[in-house]
Amino acid sequence: MPSATPTPTGTAEAHLLDLELAEPPPRPRPDLAVAGTEVPGPLADPFVDTEAAELPGSRGEHLLQCAYGSRDRAKRFYDNQLLDHLNEAMIEFIGRMEMAFIASADAKGECDSSFRAGPPGFLRVLDAKHIAYPEYRGNGVHASLGNVSENPHLAILMVDFVRDLIGLHVNGKARVVEDADMRANHPGLPGDHDRGRTPERWVVVQVEEAYIHCRKHIPHLRPVDRTREWGTDDTRRKGGDYFSAKATQRSDRQVVHTSRQ
């Protein structure tokens, strides 16, 4: 005979599973001034998160804040570190960045993380609500741009590994703008480029969230001079088949074996 108690399928800690599987406590009836003359209204659910609607962030992070008891810390972060635009300190920081990590996802939620780099200023702050970065000639896959064409949500992480050991997150909605159109609207963009570093198009991000990435785990790095092969299609200069992917059989490719009589 099957058990009446549901079997947990997750990997949460025991006290969280007990909470998940516990029967809700009976709700007490309110005291009525005159029994039978008033109809009791709905009672408040003690497990409803009454603060979530007023907080930034996702429903998932709100649920976990309650589950793990971190709501007060989260609220201090929201209040003290999170903006919906770029302030002057953030704009100065972005202006000296030489690299950024880009996160995007397609319409199904499948994610891609990509790296972008250039001289200081290659990330352009157009105003307090908009940041743009150039798309140069690459491998032709257009993974990030393809994601943006399906799902505009995009995140940028910039990290200062050299001077201040601090990071900045910028989250928002992105759109792709061709280089000629971008220059028509923003004539101050630089026009002299290294060989192979001419922007083909730009990604413009409308800022929805901007917040700090703390320094405690950021390594201290030292830049060194190096020769960069911009715009080359030479496989060896680009790194070659460093991970031996070409000779590795992919699991989604079926190998058909034929026999000769």
Q: In the chain, what are the helix, strand and coil shares in percent, each to the nearest 5?
A: 20, 25, 55
Distances (CA, A) of 13 to 10, 20, 54, 74, 104: 9, 11, 29, 22, 32
* Cα end-to-end span (Å), the chain: 58
C-alpha closest to that of 82 among 247, 207, 251, 253: 207
What pLDDT, on a 0 to 100 scale, did the predictor assign at position 226?
75
User: pLDDT at residue 151 above 60?
Assistant: yes
What pLDDT, on a 0 to 100 scale, did the predictor assign at position 235?
65
C-alpha closest to that of 202 among 140, 139, 145: 145
The answer regarding whether domain 88-213 maps to CATH 1.10.760.10 reads no
Confidence band, pLDDT 50/70/90 cuts, at residue 257: very low
User: pLDDT at residue 144 above 70?
Assistant: yes
> Residue ranges per domain, the chain?
51-82, 88-213
Which of the listed ranges 19-33, 122-136, 229-243 does the model predict with the highest average pLDDT?
A: 122-136
C-alpha closest to that of 90 among 20, 149, 172: 172
* Displacement of CA 152 from its chain's centroid (Å): 12
pLDDT digits (tens, 9 = 90+) for 192-248: 776 667 899 999 999 999 999 999 899 999 988 877 665 666 666 666 778 888 888
What pLDDT, on a 0 to 100 scale, did the predictor assign at position 260?
43
Strand partners, 203: 133, 176
In the chain, the amino acid numbered 196 is: G
Q: Provide DSSP, 204-241.
A: EEEEEEEEEE-STTPPP---------TT---TTTTT-S
What pLDDT, on a 0 to 100 scale, did the predictor assign at position 123?
96
pLDDT digits (tens, 9 = 90+) for 163-203: 999 999 999 999 999 999 999 999 988 877 766 678 999 99
What pLDDT, on a 0 to 100 scale, did the predictor assign at position 106?
97
pLDDT digits (tens, 9 = 90+) for 66-121: 999 999 999 999 999 999 999 999 999 999 999 999 999 999 999 999 999 988 99
What pLDDT, on a 0 to 100 scale, did the predictor assign at position 193?
72
Angle at 211 between CA 147 and CA 65, to 5 degrees: 90
Q: For residues 133-149, give the mean pLDDT.
A: 93
In eight-state DSSP terms, residue 31 is: P
Average pLDDT of the chain? 83
